[in-house]
Amino acid sequence: MRILSILAVAAISACAAADVQPPQTVEAGQPTGVWSYASHVDDLRAASCPEDRSYARAISMDLRVIEAERGNEQARENQLTGLTLAGAWQLKSSEKDFGGLSGLSVMRSGSLLAINDAGAFVWIGVDPETGHPDGIGAISYMRDARGNFFANKRDGDSEGLDYRDGLAFVSFEQDHRISAFDLERCGSAARSAPVVSLAPVLDGTLLADNRGPEALSLSGDGLSVGYELRKAGGSPIGTVNTDGSLSDVETTEQPLLFLMTGMDVKGDLSARIFRAYDPIRGARVMLHVDRDGERIGDGVFKRPLPVDNFEGVAIGQSPSGATRIWLISDDNFSANQRTLLLALDLPQ
């Protein structure tokens, strides 16, 4: 089974690219309704992986997996509701650009795909028998629409991620936009296919460079984004339109100082994470899990539970078949922080 895990990571291990797109103008008569996966997927695949483009593998990367603290039983009982902390690990690598992980998704193999602040895709192998990270990894830098690597931090500041049918959707802040990468067919050679350039103004507020689409999720046939800012008691989430505006905007509800950093939606299940930070208490993170709009699980991550700057969340499945919520932290490439990976299971 371990060999199968290796092959699964290697086979899809690929990617490298990013592009900067100017705001898209909407021509007269051009539809500006809700963006649709079914309507755009074929064009995105063709743009990301042209017929003359060959598949390229990602760079293999060692991953050191270290068991992390899980806190005591009383803390888990007090700080987790409807969730079991099934695993907690710190990940390290000799690869210089490992870290800064801000988006997370589960691939068909059960292994994990992440993105980082250096404009790279990172693959994290998961053993299908144990459900634990297996120490197998890969990294690949994103390419722009011309097949070139991102030129600077502004171009490649990737934050949100979702993955469907081999196609990775990535949201970027600073240059607020969403792009797609056909990793399954082109791997590391995949080019950035423009999805939308997001409107720079949200509900009358001009978006700051670092207050962009931090959270991204494919929900049914549509795309949703959540912003790392606070308005009217929470963070705004909306459905993406073809012109980059949002419809059906709602405001999440979370305590003061907490901002949205990630979300995932699978069928009737949604998971959202919110982070707060100050120099005295450090990072604190809240996880909300809902089914059909009803809260079925939540967590408050602060000491003595494992905690760092959690920004990525993904819904998957444990080896037993239980629904699993994965969390991953952004260490900001700092020696004072950690890349933590948590597995939290819902009751069967």
CATH number of residue 62's parent domain: 2.120.10
The answer for residues whose C-beta is within 8 angstroms of residue 322's C-beta and 6 or more apart is 345, 346, 347, 348
Residue 26 has pLDDT above 80, yes or no: no
C-alpha dihedral sign at 285, 286, 289, 290? negative
Work out the mean pLDDT of the chain and round it to a whole number. 90
Q: What is the Cα–Cα distance from 91 to 98, expressed in whole angstroms?
A: 9
Question: 71 lies in a domain?
Answer: yes
> CB count, 10 Å around CB of 274?
27
pLDDT for residue 306 is more than 90: yes
Is residue 27 domain-resident? Answer: no
Say if residues 268 and 292 touch (Cβ distance below 8 Å).
Answer: yes
Band (42; pLDDT cuts 50, 70, 90)? very high
pLDDT value of position 32: 66
pLDDT at 144 over 80: yes
Is 169 contained in some domain? yes
Question: What number of other Cβ atoms are within 10 A of residue 289's Cβ?
Answer: 23
Residue 314: inside a domain? yes
* Residue 218 backbone dihedrals phi, psi, to 5 degrees: -80, 125
* Residue 38, domain member (yes or no): no
Q: Tell me the pLDDT band of 29, cut-offs 50, 70 and 90.
A: very low
pLDDT at residue 14 is higher than 80: no
* Per-residue pLDDT, 152: 83
Q: How many CB atoms lie within 10 A of CB 199?
A: 15
Task: Tell me the mean pLDDT in the region 239-246.
Answer: 96
The answer to whether residues 162 and 217 touch, using CB atoms and an 8 Å cutoff, is yes
pLDDT in tens, 74-106: 999 999 999 999 999 999 999 999 999 999 999
Residue 340 has pLDDT above 80, yes or no: yes
The predicted model scores a pTM of 0.89
| Stronger pLDDT, 319 or 204, i.e. the higher one | 319
In a domain, 24, yes or no: no
> Residue 74 belongs to what domain range?
2-19+43-345
**What average pLDDT score do residues 333-348 get?**
96
Q: How many whole angstroms separate alpha carbon 67 and alpha carbon 266?
A: 28
Helix (H) or strand (E) holding 163: strand 158-164
Residue 268 and residue 7: Cα distance in Å, rounded? 31
Give pLDDT tens digits for 50-68.
999 999 999 999 999 999 9
pLDDT for 145-186, tens place per residue?
999 999 888 888 999 999 999 999 999 999 999 999 999 999
In this prediction, residues 203-222 reach a mean pLDDT of 91
Residue 30 lies in a domain: no
Number of domains comprising the chain: 1
pLDDT-based confidence at residue 203 (cuts at 50, 70, 90): confident
Question: What's the Cα-to-Cα distance from 257 to each of 132, 214, 279, 304, rounded to whole Å?
Answer: 33, 16, 13, 21
Which residue, among 60, 80, 117, has the nearest Cα to 342 in the 3D structure? 80
DSSP code at position 228: S
**Percentage of residues in the chain having pLDDT higher than 90:** 81
Place of tokens 């059960």: 110
Where are any strands of DSSP class E within 252-293? 259-266, 269-278, 282-291
- According to DSSP, the residues that pair with 108 across neighbouring strands are none
Q: On the CB side of 3, how many CA atoms lie within 13 Å of its CA?
A: 0
The pLDDT score that the predictor gives to residue 1 is 40
**How long is the chain?**
348
Residue 279: asked if its preceding bond is cis (omega within 30°), the reply is no
What share of the chain has pLDDT > 70, as a percent?
A: 91
Is 167 part of a structural domain of the chain? yes
